[in-house]
Structure 1
Amino acid sequence: MTAIQSNDLCLSYGETCIFQDLNICLPKGKITVFIGSNGCGKSTLLRSLARLLTPKSGQVVLDGSDIATLKTKEVARRMAMLPQGPSAPEGLTVLQLVKQGRYPYQNWLQQWSKEDESMVQRALELTNMKHLAERSVDSLSGGQRQRAWIAMTLAQGTPTILLDEPTTYLDLAHQIEVLDLLFDLNVRERRTIVMVLHDINLACRYADNIVAIKDRKVWAEGQPQDVITEELINSVFDLECRIIEDPLFGTPMVVPYGSGKQPGQLHGASDTETPAALVV
C-alpha cells in the first residue's frame, strides 16, 4: 500500500526548476529516507509532499486523496511535518509546545478535551520528556529540544510523519536516541515515517525504503541492500567507497575515501614506504 505518491510533479523556485515530472510512491507503514548531496532537492521534495510548497504542476496524493483538495486541518490530521531547525517563542514551555500539536482538532465548538490531554501526555511519555514539561524550550539541550519538537509532532496523532534532518546538530548518542524513537513508533504503531538524513549508514540501518536524489530527479529507490552500491555512492555523491556489511545489523555500510589518504595507507607513511606490518 502507498501512503504518499507524486504524479508528474514539477517543482520550482521562481524560474529555477527543481524537479520535473517526478513520480514516486512511498510505502505505507514503512520508514523511507531521502539521501543525496547538499542542494539536490531533498528538503524541497519533502516540503512539497507536506503541501508547504505549491507545485508548478502535477499532484501529491495522500492516502488516496489529492492533497491540494484537502482542507488544511484535514491534512494536519493525516500528516505531521517537522522542519529542519524549528524555533519556539522565547519562554514557551515544553508542555505548551506539545499542546500545539492538538491545534488541528480544535474549533469554537470543540475545545480542549480529555483525548487532547491524553495524546499530549502520551507524546511526552514516548519521548521521555514528561519530567521536563515545565521547562522552557530554549533552556533545553539540543537533544532534549529535538525530542520536545518530536513530542509535539506525535501529539498530532497522524499516521504519517515527515521530518527534515531530525538528527542535525545532535551528537551521535542523541542521533541514535531520536532514530530509535522513530523506529519504535514505526514498529509498534505502524506509523509511516519519511525523513531526510545525511548519514548514509544510519539511513541504511533504519530505512525500509531509500530514495537517492541527484540532478533534480530520483536516481534510485528501493531497499537499502538493493540501492546502496559503490557505483551509486560514486554517482550520487562523487565519492569513492567500499560497501561492507554492518557487523551488527547486516545492512550496507559505506566506507568512504577520497583522493588523499588511500585504503591500506598507514597514518604518516609516505607513498614509497612499505608498512612494517606488511613486510613478509
Structure 2
Amino acid sequence: MSVIQANKLTLSYGKNEIFSNLDLLIPKGEITVFIGSNGCGKSTILRSIARLLKPQEGTILLEGTDIARLSSKEIAKRLAILPQGPIAPEGLTVHQLVKQGRYPYQSFLQQWSVEDEKAVKRALEVTHLTELSSRSVDSLSGGQRQRAWIAMTLAQNTPTLLLDEPTTFLDMTHQIDILDLLFELNEKENRTIAMVLHDINLACRYAHHIVAVKDGRVHAKGRPEAIVNEQLIRDVFDMECQIAADPIFGTPLCIPHGKGRKIR
C-alpha cells in the first residue's frame, strides 16, 4: 500500500525539464531512500511531493487524494518536509523553533492549546533536546541543530516525513544518531519516511525501499538486497565497485575501486 503516488509527472525548473512521465510510489510505513548522482533530481521529487514545486503535467496523490485539491494546512497535517540546509532566524531558541511545527493547527478560532504544548514537549523528548530547549538554535552543534529541525517536523504530528539530505555536513557519529532516530520513528510509530541520502551504504542499511534516479527517470527501485549491485552503481554513479555483505547487518556494502593506499 502506498501513501504517495505520482502519476505521469513532468517537473521543470524554468525551461529546464528535469523529469518527464515520472511514475512513483512511496510505500506506507516504510523508509524510502532516494539515491543518485548530484543534480539528478532527487530533491526535485521531494519538493514536488510536498507541493513546493508544481508539476507541469501529472498528478500526485497523498493518501489517495490529489494534493492539488488540498489546502496547505491540510497537507501540513498529513506530511512534513525538512529541506536541505534550513536556516533559523538569529536568536531563535530550540523551543521556539519546535513550536513552529504546530502552525497547521492554529487559526483565529483555534489558539495555542494544551495539545500543542504536549506535541512540542514530546518532540523535544524524542529528539533528546529537552535540556537544550532554551538554547538558541545557532549556538548548537551541527548534529544538535539537525535534531532540532527534525523535532519541529515531529511537532507537526504527521504520519509521513520527507527529509532532504538530513545527514549533510554531519560527522559519522551524528549521521548515525540522526538515522537511528528516524529508524526508531519508523519502527515504533510506523511513520512513513522518504529521504535523500548520498551515502550508498547508509541508504542500504536503513532503507526498506530504494529509488535510484538517473537521467530524469527512475532507473531502479526495490529493496536494497534486490537492486543494489555492481551494475547499478556503474549505471547510476559511473563508478566501478565491489558489492559485499555488510558484516553487521547483511545489507549491500559498496566498496569503490580507486587509487587508495594498498596494504603492503
- TM tier relative to shorter chain: over 0.9
1:270: which partner in 2?
Answer: none
1:61-210 equivalences under 5 Å are 61-210=61-210
Letter in 2 for 1:8: K
Write the distance in 1 (CA, Å) between the matches of 2:28 and 2:240.
33
Residue 19 (structure 1) aligns with: 19
Q: How many residues align?
A: 264
Distance 1:97 1:43 in 2: 23
Determine the structure 2 residue equivalent to 1:266: 262
1:266 Cα offset (Å): 2.4
Instruction: Could you tell me which runs of 5 or more consecutive residues in structure 2 were left unpaired when the two chains were aligned.
Output: none
Please list every run of 5 or more consecutive structure 1 residues that lacks an aligned counterpart in the other structure.
Answer: 268-274, 276-280
Amino acid at match of 1:193: I
Q: Which amino acid aligns with 1:178?
A: I
Superimposed CA distance per residue, residues 239-275 of structure 1 (whole angstroms, 9 cap, x where no aligned partner): 00000000000100000013x35xxx725xxxxxxx6
Give 1:266's aligned amino acid.
K
SS across alignment from 1:18: strand
Whole-angstrom distance in 1 between the partners of 2:4 and 2:34 = 14
Q: What residue number does 1:229 align with?
A: 229
Tell me how far 1:16 sits from its aligned partner. 1.0
Deviation digits for residues 113-142 of structure 1 (CA, Å, limit 9, x no counterpart): 111000000000000000000000011110
Residue deviations 1:204-255 (CA, integer Å, cap 9, x gap) = 0000000000001000000000110100000100000000000000100000
Aligned partners of 2:149, 2:262: CA distance in 1, in Å? 44
Deviations 1:6-29 (A, max 9, x none): 000000112111000000111000
**Identity over the aligned pairs, expressed in percent?**
66
SS of the aligned residue for 1:134 comes to coil
Query: 1:167-224 CA distances to partner (integer Å, 9 max, x unpaired)?
Result: 0010000000000000000000100000000000000000000000000100000000
Match for residue 37 of structure 1?
37
Q: 2:55 — aligned with what?
A: 55
TM-score by length of 1: 0.93
- Measured in 1, the distance between the counterparts of 2:80 and 2:211 equals 20
Which residue of the partner structure matches residue 271 of structure 1? none
Alpha-carbon distance between aligned partners in 2 of 1:113 and 1:211, rounded to the nearest angstrom: 40
- Give the alignment's TM-score, normalised by structure 2: 0.99
Determine the C-alpha separation between the residues in 1 that align with 2:227 and 2:100. Answer: 38
In structure 1, C-alpha distance between the alignment counterparts of 2:45 and 2:142, rounded to whole Å = 26
Q: Distance in 2 between matches of 1:25 and 1:41?
A: 16
